[in-house]
Amino acid sequence: MLENKNILIGITGGIAAYKICNLIRLYKKAGANVRVVLTPNALNFVTKLTLQTLSGNEVYVDNFEIDEYKPEHIALTESDIFVIAPASANTIGKIANGICDNLLLSTACAFSKPILIAPAMNENMWKNSFVQENLKKLENNGYYIIEPETGFLACGTNGVGRMKEPEDIFEKTVEILSEKQTLRGKKFLITAGGTREKIDPVRYITNSSSGKMGLALADCAFKMGAEVTLISTFKAEKPYKNIIALTALEMEKAVKENLLGKDCVIMAAAVSDYRVENVSEQKMKKKGGEVTLKLVENPDILQEICKVPPLCHSVSFPPQGEQRSQALNERIEQEAAREQLSSVQSLTPSLTLPGGEGTCANFMRNTLPPLRGKCPEDKGGYQENPITSKFSSNPLLEKTQPTLHSSPITPCAPLIIGFCAESENLIENAKVKIQKKGCDYLIANDISRKDIGFNTDENEVYIVDKNLNIKHIEKDTKQNIAKHILEEIFE
Ligand SMILES: Cc1cc2nc3c(=O)[nH]c(=O)nc-3n(C[C@H](O)[C@H](O)[C@H](O)COP(=O)(O)O)c2cc1C
């Protein structure tokens, strides 16, 4: 089951350390190569000799016992997964804060593949708000957490904090290692949240969208290997790039500026159809009587980006590749004819974005003119989340990413997936909408129900494709719905 897998186990100073002997045996029996790194405190609970004998490999503790040219914390990162069990409150806190004062911590800091954390501690330690915050931080940064269970604790009490059994940790490891990396190397742009249309400095018009569905899709695409850019109406502390756009106009700008080079765009945000025409600069005072707000229509971002695919340097999805490129070629030919290619070519010298794959520089390099407009330089109007904007690629994949096949003059129309929230005639309205918008897929959900859709943790959706085929995905958590949607479309 785990043949050819290299598993690195990290043991910290907790009483559950003795159980790891059993975990090593489970991994070994399943065919994995197991190496072990311990914190110096863990040596109070298990011996190096036992772990060496069970794993059949050298066991590591000290940062500075370097036999080879490569420092151990770097050499150890060449494993498929790092399982830290038991994970003490101390080590969890240090990892979450980038502290590297022992070999296990330095290895965790440098590790770019999945890390599974199995906390074990006294109930009060587990409930400590700092410990919980640290765990949340790790979870938000793509770490897998296998939560402890309730039971008899070594401190003599009953409560939550007991490390999950080795069999459960083993199963979780298998599950993580078999997660499909179908989207490896693909670039996804995903929107989430309900836009806020300002009335005055303190008031706005919005809707009930929580952004949970878009967030679940972004998380899932990231786990499936995609390089994700999330444009959301809220700050998301995630291991992928996050751009905050509050209003429909800001979202439109952010989407258009980040569209080039993307392989897939998922428009899950609930973008307000209307905005206030004259936003008051000062807080509006109560004057008695009625107030009338004039609303004007917002741009239909989904429809706009479906209209004309940008041309750039890109890759296509293997399963859809052929059908898609034929459809695209037709679309591009029509557009080219309409827009008089030669006159559009004169726009090329005005393209201004810096070079790099998927940017306008590729148009220049390949002397392919864009079919519409130019790339704006100005980044005003929305902000990049400073916490996550440093991530430009999926760190879980850095080591495994294959060289992508890319054609220098491939028309890069990303696959576009829209959402439609309907309170009646769900399927009929979805069919009309996909034809009107021109996107590749439309995810329809019923917002009249209290148990699914807006501001809930669960959803039930229908995927409608261009040919009006419909696939029903039954009620489930938004995380599972996201997984089903991506698997259905991309596998
Ligand atoms: C007998 C004993 C059992 C302990 N069990 C745990 C435990 O289960 N979880 C935990 O977080 N700390 C536990 N501790 C405290 C840790 O060993 C201590 O916080 C230590 O600094 C952890 O260091 P490390 O994270 O570098 O391994 C225990 C301490 C002792 C003496």
Pairing status of strand 458-465 against strand 470-477: antiparallel
Which pair of tokens denotes residue 301?
């971002």
118-127, 242-251, 412-421: least confidently modelled range: 412-421
Instruction: Give the pLDDT confidence of 438-474 residue by residue, as tens digits.
Output: 999 999 988 777 777 677 888 899 999 999 999 999 9
Q: Is the peptide bond before 86 cis (omega within 30 degrees of 0)?
A: yes
High-pLDDT (> 90) share of the chain, %? 64
What CA–CA distance (Å, rounded) separates 358 from 376? 14
Which residue would you say has higher pLDDT here, 394 or 84?
Answer: 84
State the residue for tokens 């993580």: 176
Residue nearest ligand 1's atom 17 by CA: 13
Which residue would you say has higher pLDDT here, 130 or 319?
Answer: 130
Which pair of tokens denotes residue 124?
């009060």
Cα of 153 vs centre of ligand 1, distance in Å, is: 13
pLDDT higher than 70, residue 157: yes
| pLDDT category of residue 100 using cuts at 50, 70 and 90 | very high
Which pair of tokens denotes residue 214?
């878009």
100-104, 382-386, 416-420, 430-434: least confidently modelled range: 382-386
Nearest atom in ligand 1 to 104's CA: 26
| pLDDT category of residue 363 using cuts at 50, 70 and 90 | very low
pLDDT at 385: 55
Residues with CB under 6 A from ligand 1: 12-16, 39, 41-42, 86, 88-91, 120-121, 125
Cα of 120 vs centre of ligand 1, distance in Å, is: 9
pLDDT at 372: 23
Instruction: Give the pLDDT confidence of 284-337 residue by residue, as tens digits.
Output: 999 899 999 999 999 999 999 998 654 443 333 333 434 444 544 554 455 444
- 155 counts as catalytic: yes
Residue in 21, 109, 155, 264 annotated catalytic: 155
pLDDT higher than 70, residue 239: yes
Q: Where are the alpha helices (DSSP H) in 43-202?
A: 48-55, 72-75, 89-96, 103-110, 123-127, 129-140, 166-177
Cα of 104 vs centre of ligand 1, distance in Å, is: 15
High-pLDDT (> 70) share of the chain, %? 76
pLDDT higher than 90, residue 365: no
Cβ contact 257:189 at 8 Å: no
Provide the 3-class DSSP secondary structure of residue 303: helix
pTM value?
Answer: 0.67
Residue nearest ligand 1's atom 13 by CA: 14
Q: Where are the alpha helices (DSSP H) in 268-401?
A: 301-307, 321-339, 341-345, 360-365
pLDDT at 308: 64
- Residue 125's DSSP bridge partners are none
Which of 153-157, 226-230, 367-371, 382-386 has maximum average pLDDT?
226-230
Cα of 419 vs centre of ligand 1, distance in Å, is: 48
Nearest atom in ligand 1 to 91's CA: 25
Cα of 38 vs centre of ligand 1, distance in Å, is: 13
| pLDDT category of residue 361 using cuts at 50, 70 and 90 | very low
Domains with residue ranges and CATH for the chain: 6-177 (3.40.50.1950), 187-275+291-490 (3.40.50.10300)
DSSP per-residue letters across 190-257: EEESB--EESSSS-EE--S--SHHHHHHHHHHHHTT-EEEEEESS----SSEEEE--SHHHHHHHHHH
Pocket test for ligand 1, best of 15, 19, 60, 88 (most atoms within 8 A of CB): 88
pLDDT at 455: 72
Which residue would you say has higher pLDDT here, 377 or 274?
Answer: 274
How far from 445 is each of 364, 439, 452, CA to CA, in Å? 42, 16, 8
Cβ contact 161:125 at 8 Å: yes
Nearest atom in ligand 1 to 41's CA: 27
Residue nearest ligand 1's atom 28 by CA: 14
| pLDDT category of residue 67 using cuts at 50, 70 and 90 | low
| pLDDT category of residue 75 using cuts at 50, 70 and 90 | confident
What CA–CA distance (Å, rounded) separates 215 from 225? 15
Count of residues for the chain? 491
pLDDT at 257: 95
Which pair of tokens denotes residue 389?
């904007």
Residue nearest ligand 1's atom 19 by CA: 90
